[in-house]
Structure 1
């Protein structure tokens, strides 16, 4: 691996200078992970501003953990040098932090905050057993150690094993403890086997009453630890997105407005538990996000975002948010009587081609046309990768646009995703998908090289019509080259 010797020297130099963060390379990464039971790895780029901001916090956290004699290692990998390693680890942005447990394939994302104390706290939890054996004398202190703890009460090995399975699955998010003390269980109002969630918010204690099945218990823990009314921020946003439930946003720019509206929303949140997540969001810090769910930046504001369909239901911003209004809004939503607001650019009057412009208003008409294979690029005007792709994508579209027969079979299109609501979850730009004719429910996402040949072959291999556009283009170019050569030879003979 190129630069491996230099990287090793730099790693040694960093240790010599007293750094508690070790720089790893492709040559020593896997062996280091296997030799250490718990490692936090930062994949970074020297030019990355967020990486520069994290650096002193990461270094401080490593020093604290080292001083505490924790069996936790903090390492870093420079992806501008170790590009092959970073590619193998699927690194797409910087910094990316991953937690490894003694094996390359035993890995999970770091989900904590990027401050030294938060890193120390998170990794300390990770270093603890998935389940802490509880003795009666330490039970109360264990309950108070975190804002959420999950405790199992057992009298048989099978139930204990089921609980341990759940704990291992969710250990990155919650603290688990277990007791086989029947008197303690009775004092807590349960009979073994039982699972109890203790929280410092909402209902202080929630008892699981379902079948003792790992999947059911895990679902219970995830649901019941979500606050009735939480808060959207950097630490919680991903969790809300991954829940799959619709997310109701309350944008507020003052504590008084927040307190008043949260009190009104609380009974609604209780009745919609498990159906809709409800959370406040600080409009003074994250107000721009309102535009993503079709709200104007005026506060307070309220809307429900259905993550599965990308539909947005907006509470009328021309009226005051009231208790009666919110109750009616949720009742209409539950009854399916609300009409989603659609953000859409105006479609062009004429598709001048060759790349067909799609908007929210024309999405179904163009993309879901059952008679055509439709390749569509979900892009953003500010995206550098999209701008670099544009000439190649235009050339691809031209192949089909110029041929009247191919034009009836294949469409190459694009949609300005931030400015148009689309029924697809788009995680990055550009995202390219093929909607085959006759099978629009199963689009195929493109993951190959962004070259003309690869894109054309993707349409050929996955479309209904299997049009080999690149071969057609090459045959035309070869014919042109032959004609040019013949013309040149004729001209030469005349000379």
Structure 2
């Protein structure tokens, strides 16, 4: 019995040693007390901690331990440890875990990263550790290396430091990189001679920070202007100088990735011909150039206009389908402004945006031409431009059938046929107009808010802004009853002959 227990203990000890050797290249103790944990954090810049139950019957804990043991990290500065929450409960309680096992990555500069996958497995653990290890900077030493990076990156934050002396500013820079590395490129230039070419050419001294921003073909530079250098101040300065991005909208990204951001500003979208790569890149470059002039005023996006699903949109907004196509949507009102120019370049895009902000553009209106009325039809066709004169006429109760084409709404047309049959029976009632409107072809009638189709609404002569909505079954009898029940002054406003007609139809 004693021998068996000794073998088990030896296996556990060997496994623990192998675990830490594989992950960190050095032996690291099993954390079993709060004091051990504090000492480990103080001694290492990066700690990957598995919080688990070592001796409990916990299959998930065993799987997590195996994943951690199999993890191979290239970064030699990372130490992996296991915290036994049975023997060090005060450590685990501090982080308010709801279940075990859990993984946290501790960094002395940035803070704590939380592993958020539901299970601890090798691939996800490796991705988590490698994605969050800091510093997230590229370290270089020469001007040639810096030129290469600036050429390949559109936005680069560069810190110039001595490799060993006075690391306070460098620490703030690295902490900033730890927070923003997923958004921006950070570079540390380390030289031990203050007369080095890279310092002279960039007109900087030690502990200087500089931004290189490429817009179109031009590279602009910005120097950190303050004496006090802290992570918060650097972050604010970066935000002020960051490019006003041009976003590619794809099926995968969509607007949901930045929903609040897209809701805040008007959105300009260019539909590009993705089969013409040269023209595509020219227009994207023009968008990037113009975007800086309309920072925090307009969001700039582009899409693949070759996709079939956009063809109906182009037609609806009055385009012939020839790419590129540009339009601007005003959030809130949903007004759409279309570009009718022949050529799309930075000058035309800039003028279009400026005219929009100055109120010099008229929104495009989706509407039909005023039609000739069919004298044989009991239903009057209403369009955008005749809506007010027909529906808001004080001389009549007006019933309107709102519908979409058969290609969009397959149950609109059958109900419309029943509505037209009802109109035929009611056409001789004085002061009553039965009308219909295609809401796909007249999508922006002022004041009309119809979300479901088909819909029937009645606009009484006395109050055109208190429409009455039909909610009965889709039958001729129900529609006829709805109309007759809601006629204005039906018992007092008609002559004897009119009353007789009403009696006949009811």
TM-score (norm: length of structure 2): 0.44
The structure number with the bigger radius of gyration is 2
More helix per residue: 1 or 2?
1
TM-score (norm: length of structure 1): 0.45
